[in-house]
Amino acid sequence: GENVEQHPSTLSVQEGDSAVIKCTYSDSASNYFPWYKQELGKRPQLIIDIRSNVGEKKDQRIAVTLNKTAKHFSLHITETQPEDSAVYFCAARTDSWGKFQFGAGTQVVVTP
């Protein structure tokens, strides 16, 4: 089955700096890669996603890149703000109705 590894586990950045979180996956058949932001005690919220036929996607301060050959994808947050502080999870899915395999999560702390 699919295995997703996520690094780093914690990330502290100064407000205004960029944050990068990286994930690798094992199943070359995986075709959908979402990123979720989860605040304490709340549901995961989708912040950006990318399909396997795309190499990069951007939405304002957030971008995701995908390298299918190397089987890794990354989340980039620019101009970080204190409200970006949360746990971020990457995930990978193999088929349209299939289950997600989540990474271990990254605790991001943005200090003013």
- Binding site residues, another protein, CB under 8 A: 32, 34, 41-46, 49, 51, 89, 93, 96-97, 99-105, 107
Choose between 17 and 51: whose C-beta lies nearer to another protein. Answer: 51
**Gap between the Cα atoms of 107 and 11, Å rounded:** 6
Minimum CB distance to another protein, residue 21 (Å): 13
**Cα–Cα distance between 19 and 23 in angstroms, integer?**
14
The residues, ordered by sequence, that sit 6+ positions from 74 with a Cβ below 8 Å of its Cβ are 20, 21, 22, 23, 64, 65
Smallest distance, Å, CB 105 to another protein? 5
Q: For residues 42 and 60, which CB has a smaller minimum distance to another protein in the complex?
A: 42
Residue 56 CB, nearest distance to another protein (Å)?
17
Q: Which is nearer to another protein, 18 or 54 (CB)?
A: 54
Nearest Cα to Cα of residue 24 among 66, 64, 79 = 66
